[in-house]
Amino acid sequence: MELQGKRIALGVTGGIAAYKAAELVRLLIKQGASVQVAMTEAATHFVTPVTFQALSGKPVFTDQWDPRIANNMAHIDLSREADVLLVAPASADFLAKVAHGLADDLLTTLVLARDCPLLVAPAMNRQMWENPATRRNIATLCNDGVTLLGPGCGDQACGESGLGRMIEPEEIIAVLIAHFQPKLLAGKRVLITAGPTFEAIDPVRGITNLSSGKMGYAIARAASEAGAEVTLVSGPVSLPCPHDVSRIDVSSARQMRDAVLHRVANSDVFVAVAAVADYRPAKPAGQKIKKDGSAPAAIELVQNPDILADVAALPNPPLCVGFAAESEKLQEYAEKKRRAKKIPLIVGNLIHQGFGGDNNTLILFDDDGQHPLPPAPKIELARQLVARIAILLEKR
């Protein structure tokens, strides 16, 4: 329910992607939002107003002269009651009208009369999207402060493929949630490691650590929501990359270290969440080791680099945040690790809570002491961590 109490005015224009808007309304309601739908006449040829009324629980407006509004000014009343105006799908025709300030129907008049932010999710054929006129209109809208969502790339209803698809409803929900988050890290660049690393024994076997990557990915999402430019260096996980986050996929600890050191000079914050394998085989086998008695009696291990310590030891390091997953004596071991690595903040948790869940319990350790974070979804904990990072950045 991350949009609880938010009032969304949803505009739907004509196009086959209008069917996605129905699912979008369902998801908005599920997230706790109140949704008021306004449709263009063209949109009603693809999905009926009855569909949106059933999903939103509110009458749908299609006519600028709708007598249900007492003062007959739907374009005024609907915008004043909204926290945000979202148009999804937004057709090429609609975008052209808005870019030039035209207002010849309810939705374009609503856009012109609004006093809330406008977000648009374009949906059109790839040639229409690439047309110079559309490109000029998009540039104008962006300069006017309109937030562009997409478009996506892929197969289109016309049978062609390319840019122009409306992004999926789940992606739009993520953008809306981010829109309402405070921009505590606006203008900052955050580098994050997440997931496990994998150290090869042979082409099919290896040494790794238990990690789902969910906490690191939640922090990447929270930092992006807070306005930061986020780069996520990820070990092997099965998670989608958060919206507006740049992901670099790696496997081994040394690959992760190289990726981090290549980018850390341009970072304001480094958050080391990854469960990096402490050791790796000294001499990985080039071929699969057989269970025929020829396998080595022992595998020689060598220590992997300590990525966080290497970054913290740089001449001008970013604000460094570490993680300590312990099985006992969390306060003692986490604080000891923080002081040994000379970092301002470390996040501790006890591993008896298990791996791979969506909830966690954390304690933040910094120079001001301990800051327990009660059990909560990982994204909520990530947002609280981002808030603490913002405070520490202000103190630097």
Which residues are identified as catalytic?
158
Strands 198-200 and 206-208, sheet pairing:
antiparallel
Nearest residue to 361 via CA among 332, 384, 395, 388: 384
How is residue 167 annotated by DSSP? P
Give dist(CA 252, CA 256) in Å, integer.
6
Residue 306: burial class (beta carbons within 10 Å; 0-12, 13-18, 19+): middle
Q: In which element (H, E) is residue 10 found?
A: strand 7-12
Strand partners, 25: none
Proportion of the chain in helix, strand, coil states, percent, rounded to 5: 35, 25, 40
The three-class DSSP label of residue 34 is strand
The three-class DSSP label of residue 122 is strand
